[in-house]
A and B are shown apart, each in its own frame.
Chain A
Amino acid sequence: MDFAFTPEQEQLRQEVRDFIAENVTDSVRAEVEDAMDEGHGEEYMKLRAKIAERGWIGISFPKEYGGQDGSRIDQYIVEEELARVGVNVGLSGSGGPAILAAGTEEQKQYFIPRLIRGEVTFALGFTEPQAGADLAGLQTRAVRDGDDYIINGQKMYTSSAHYATHIYMMARTDPDAPKHKGISIFLFPMDTPGVTVRPLWTIQNDPPAPMGTTYGMGRTNETFFEDVRVPASSMLGEENMGWYVGAMGLNLDRVGASRYLISVRRDEDIVNWVKENEFDGHSPSEDPEVRDRIAEMWIEAQVCRLMTLRSMSIVEHGGNFTYEGSAEKVWAPEHGVRTTEGISQILGPYAQLLNGSIGAVEDGVFAHNLMGSFQSGINHGSVQVMRDQVARRGLGMPRG
C-alpha cells in the first residue's frame, strides 16, 4: 500500500496546474461548457491540441500509436486536474481501449493517434428506444452485402452525435443467435450517407445550465440509420462478438478521474461555499446539523476517491477489475445524488433558483445540479444493473 503520489507525479500535477492557469481562460471554459450543446469550438480545439502536444492525452497508450507507454496513475492526475476546470481529456473506454484490445492493426493505426490528437471523436450508439438496461435486446440490424454491411435502426441518447466525427455503435448481425451472441460493433464516420441526427432537449436546456453543472447538457440526440452502407472493415472485433468487446469498453467507462469528479466536485463546492458565504449574517456552517451532513458527505466522497484509485491500481498492476468498476459506478453516482440533495436542504428555497433568476446562488449551479446529478446513476449501466454485476461477478450469486 502506498497512498502517496511520487515526487514526479506531484511535479506533473503542478505542470498541469500551471498549464491550466496559463491556458484555460474563462472564454475557453465557457466554450468547453457549451460543447455538449453546440459542439467543440475553435478555442477548445486549440487548447486540446496543446494538451495533446504535451503528451498528456492517452499517456498509458502504446508509443507506437501515439501514446507514452506511461502510467495509468499519471493519466489519472492529468485528467483529474483538467476535469476540475471542465475540460475532459479522458479517452472513453468505448473507443481507444476497446480498439487497442480488439481492433485490427489498420484500425489501431488509424484511430488511436487521431483519438489522442482529438481529430476523431466518437458518439456512442448503444441505447435504443426498446433497449436500455437490457442493452443486448437491441434491434438495429446490420446485414452483410458483399464487402459491406447495410445498417438500419435507431439509437437514443447519442450525446455528441451532432459534432462527433465518428460513431461507435452496436448492431445485430445474427438475429437467430441468442441475444448476446448476435451483436457486432461498427466504427464509421458520422457523415456516412443515411445517418440522420435529431436533437433531444433535456430539462437543463431552458434556462441553460451554468458553468460547472453536473450533467448540465441541454442537448442529446437520437440518431437514425437508414440503409447506411459501411465497409466490412469498419467492424471492431469479430462478427457476433461485439457484446463482449463492448462490455469491456463500457466497464472502463465506469471508472476514472472524470467520472469520479462528476460525483465529488459538489462536495468541495458546498464546503467552500458555506465557509465563504452567509444568509443575512448567518453562515450555515455554524449549524450542527449542517456540519454533520457535510462531514458525512465528505467521508463518502473520500470513499469515491479511494474506490477510483483502487480501480486505477488494479489497471496499473495489469489486472482487470471484476466487480470493483461496477462498485465504483454504484457508489459515486449515488453519493453525488445524496450530496446534491443534501446541499439543497442546506440552501432551502434558494436551491430552486435556476440560472438567471433573482437570488440564484452561484448562477443557480446547485439548482441545476439537483436536476442533473441523478443522471450519472443511469448512463453507462444504471446503478441497479451495476449492483447485479457486483453480486454476480464479484460475489458469484446466481441469475434469477
Chain B
Amino acid sequence: MDVLLTDEEEMLKNSAREFLEAECSPELAREMERDDLGYPPQLWKQMATLGWVGMALPERYGGQGLSLTYLGLVMEEVGRHIVPVPLHSTMTAALTINADGTDEQRQETLPKVCSGDMVLTWAFSEADPRYRAESVKMEARRDGDGYILNGTKMFVDNFNASEKCLVVCRSTHGSQGTDGISLFLVDTSSPGISHELLTTLAKDKQSQVVFENVRVPSSAMIGEEGSAWPIVEAMLDRGTALLCTQMTGAARKDAEMAIDYSKNRLAFGRPVASFQSIQHICADMIMWVDGGQLLTYEALWRMDQGLPASVEVSQAKAFCNEKCEAVVRSSQIIHGGIGFMMEFNLHLWFRRVTAWTLRLGTTFEHRARVARALLDQPGKMRLGRSMYQTASR
C-alpha cells in the first residue's frame, strides 16, 4: 500500500509537464478554439513521437505497452495545460480496439494511432443524455454481409478530425436495455455520414453526426453481434477514468492560479491571500483536487491490475464532477471581475473543466451506480474491501 507516485511515475509526469509547459501556451488553446480542425497536427505528431499517444498500447503496434496509470499521468498534464489535442477521444477508442477488436482491426488502426497519423473517436449519446444502454436507439440492420446504420449521434468529440469512429448501435430490432447492442468501427468518410459542429461552452469540437443508410462491412464489428454492451461499458469506464485525470490536472492548475493571484492582489492595503476567507476557500480547493486525484488513481490502478473498477470509476467521476467544478468556480470568484474577461486566460480552464463535468456521466448517474453496488447486492459493506458482485451502469 503506497498511494504516492513511484520515482518512475514522478519522472514521467515531470517530463510531460516540462514539455507541455514549453510547447503549449494558453494562447494555443485559445487559437484552437477558432481553428477549423481544432488541434495543431504538429504538436500531436510530436506527442506521438515522445511515445505518449502509444503509452498504453502494445509495443507490437508501435506503442510503449505501459499501464493506463502512466497514460493517466500524461493526461493529467494534458489537462493541466489544457492542451488542444484529440488525445482523450483517440485513447477511448484505441484502448477499446486494442482490448476487444480483431487482429485486423488493431493492425489497421493502432500503428497509425501510435505514430500520430490517425485520430479516432467514439459515438454513444443520442437524444437521451444518460450513459446507459437504454439511451442507445441508433439502428444497425443486417444487410447481406454487412450492416446498414441509421440514426443520429450527439456530442461526438473531434469527429471532424477523426478518420474512424466507434459507433454504438442497437442491432436487434426491438431489443431492450443491454441486449442487442453492437459496436462498429466506422470510417468517418463513409457515404451517408454527415456532421455538424455544436457550439459548446468549451468551444471544443463536438459534433452531431447523422448516419443515413451508412453501409459497414461485417468486419467492422467489434465483439459479437448484439452482445457488445460489456465492451461498451468498459470503453465508457476507461474514458471516464481518463477524463477524471484531465479534470484534476486542469483543476489543480486553476487552483494554483487563484492562489498566486491572491498573493499579488492587494485589497485594504494587503494581499487578499492574507484574509482567512480566501485562505479557507483555497484550502478547500486543494483538498477537493487531492480527493478527486486519489479516487482517480485508485480506479486506474485497479484497471491496470485487471480488477473490476466500475464502482471506483463512478466514485471518481461523481466526486470530480462536483468538486472540480467547485474548484474552478471558486477560482473565478477569487479573481473577481477580471476572470470573467475574455482577454484573461482563467476562463480557458473554467470552461473546459465545466464541460468535462458534463461528459461521460453526471454526478447523479454515477452516484446511482455506486448506490446499486452498495444497496442492491447482499452482504455487509466495508470501506476498503471489495464491493463487487454486480455494479453495472
Residues of A within 8 A of B (CB): 1-6, 9, 73, 264, 267-268, 271-272, 274-275, 285, 288, 291-292, 294-296, 298-303, 305-307, 309-310, 312-314, 316-317, 323, 327, 330-331, 384, 386-388, 390-392, 394-400
Contact = CB atoms under 8 A, between A and B. Distances in A.
8 tightest A-B contacts by CB?
Answer: A391-B279, A295-B367, A390-B283, A306-B294, A291-B371, A295-B370, A303-B291, A387-B283
Nearest to B378: A275
A108 B18 CA distance: 47
Interface in B4-52: 4-6, 9
Interface of B: 1-6, 9, 69, 259, 262-263, 270-271, 273-276, 278-280, 282-284, 286-287, 290-291, 294-295, 297-298, 301-302, 305, 315, 318-319, 364, 367-371, 374-375, 378, 380-384
Contacts of B319: 299-300, 303
Nearest to A304: B383
Contacts of A331: 287, 291
A397 B282 contact: yes
Q: Which applies to chain A's interface (DSSP): helix, strand, loop or mixed?
A: helix
Contact of A302 (B262, B380, B383): B383
A268 B286 contact: no
Contacts of B295: 299, 302-303, 306
Contacts of A295: 318, 367-371, 374
Given A301-B383, A309-B1, A387-B280, A3 B301 contact: yes
Given A295-B318, A299-B295, A327-B286, A384 B274 contact: no
Contacts, number: 161
Given A306-B291, A314-B4, 4 more contacts: A3-B1, A291-B371, A295-B318, A388-B276
Contacts of B273: 397-398
Contact of A399 (B274, B278, B383, B384): B274
Given A295-B374, A397-B282, A1 B274 contact: no
Contacts of B302: 3
16 contacts: A3-B1, A3-B297, A4-B305, A267-B383, A268-B380, A295-B369, A295-B371, A299-B295, A299-B315, A299-B318, A307-B290, A309-B1, A327-B286, A391-B280, A397-B274, A398-B274
Nearest to A306: B294
A395 B261 CA distance: 12
Contacts of B69: 1
A272 B374 CA distance: 9
B384 to A, nearest CB: 6
B24 to A, nearest CB: 25
B279 to A, nearest CB: 4
B375 A275 contact: yes
Nearest to B284: A387
Contacts of B275: 400
A63 to B, nearest CB: 23
Contact of B298 (A268, A306, A400): A306
A68 B381 CA distance: 32
Contacts of B370: 295, 298-299
A290 to B, nearest CB: 9
Contacts of B301: 1-3
A291 B318 contact: no
Contacts of A292: 364, 367-368, 371
Contacts of A400: 270, 274-276
Contacts of A313: 1-4
A1 B297 CA distance: 8
Contacts of B305: 4
Contacts of A316: 2
Contacts of A330: 283, 287
A307 B287 CA distance: 9
B112 to A, nearest CB: 31
Nearest to A261: B383
A397 B291 contact: no
A397 B3 contact: no
Given A302-B295, A327-B290, A397-B262, A310 B3 contact: yes
A387 B383 contact: no
Nearest to B279: A391
A392 to B, nearest CB: 7
Contacts of A302: 295, 298, 315, 383
A299 B367 contact: yes
Nearest to A264: B383
B259 A397 contact: yes
Contacts of B271: 398
Contacts of A264: 383
A3 B318 contact: no
A265 B276 CA distance: 32
